[in-house]
Amino acid sequence: SYELTQSPSVSVSPGQTASIRCSGDKLGDEYVSWYQKKPGQSPLLVIYQNTKRPSGIPGRFSGSKSANTATLTISGTQLMDEADYFCQAYDSTIPVVFGGGTKLTVL
Amino acid sequence: QVQLQESGPGLVKPSETLSLTCTVSGGSISSNYWSWIRQPPGKGLEWIGYIHYSGSTNYNPSLKSRFTMSVDTSKSQFSLKLNSVTAADTAVYYCARQVLYGSGNFWTYYFDYWGQGTLVTVSS
């Protein structure tokens, strides 16, 4: 089965830039979406189609992709950005695949 | 603003059937696809499957075929049934709107609206 791999955790100091990566064998040919998940809340779409931000998502969130690795970048990270982040892509065999998630700690 | 609300029992006994319903408001259910996604305690997100308003479905092949989805457009609701539940089915279950985008051989799905989630515990 197709898998998306994320590092379990990333730490960043407030005001610094956080980079969260997602890798998969077919990502070079796919769109990637990113979700923020805070405890007790439902997931929030922060990036779709690799680089697009939904309305209401702060400009400090950006997405990029190079070959088989997608990156979610949070510039000027704030305490409120502490959350789990999941990447997601499409696969012809299983239409929706999520990465295992990355816990972002802001300290 | 599209809103989704899950409803259903919070506690189900092992081997019984779990039934959840998602009510869509603020938008038409007769567009896009509608999905169920779950998150077991301490684990990641797992896509269960989607249903189109026409009634066509697609389930996660990695899961055993215990899931059944249905849609009632007159009530703006779609539902999930899971047979023979076990403790491994304990999770927060979310419903979400699944958007299809693309052309040719380059497609994607993403989820732009989510319900608040409902915790389902399987225990005797």
Average pLDDT, rounded, for chain A: 95
Angle ∠(A4,B38,A3) on CA atoms, nearest 5: 15
User: What is the pLDDT, as a whole number, of residue B62?
Assistant: 84
Task: Using an 8 Å CB-CB cutoff, list chain B residues near A45.
Answer: 110-112
User: What is the pLDDT, as a whole number, of residue A92?
Assistant: 80
- Output the CA–CA distances (angstroms, integers) from residue B20 to A96, B95, B97, B110, in the order listed: 21, 9, 16, 22
CA distance A101 to chain B (A): 6
Contact A89, A31 (CB under 8 A): yes
pLDDT in tens, B92-108: 999 999 999 888 878 88
Inter-chain residue contact A97 with B44, CB threshold 8 Å: no
From the list A33, A90, A100, the residue facing B107 with the nearest CB is A90
- The DSSP 8-state label assigned to residue A76 in this structure reads T
Inter-chain residue contact A37 with B116, CB threshold 8 Å: no
pLDDT in tens, A11-50: 999 999 999 999 999 888 889 999 999 999 999 999 999 9
User: What is the pLDDT, as a whole number, of residue B32?
Assistant: 85
Contact B111, B1 (CB under 8 A): no
Mutation to test the A interface, candidates B43, B110, B116, most A Cβ within 10 Å: B110
Residues 6+ apart with CB under 8 A from A26: A2, A68, A89, A91
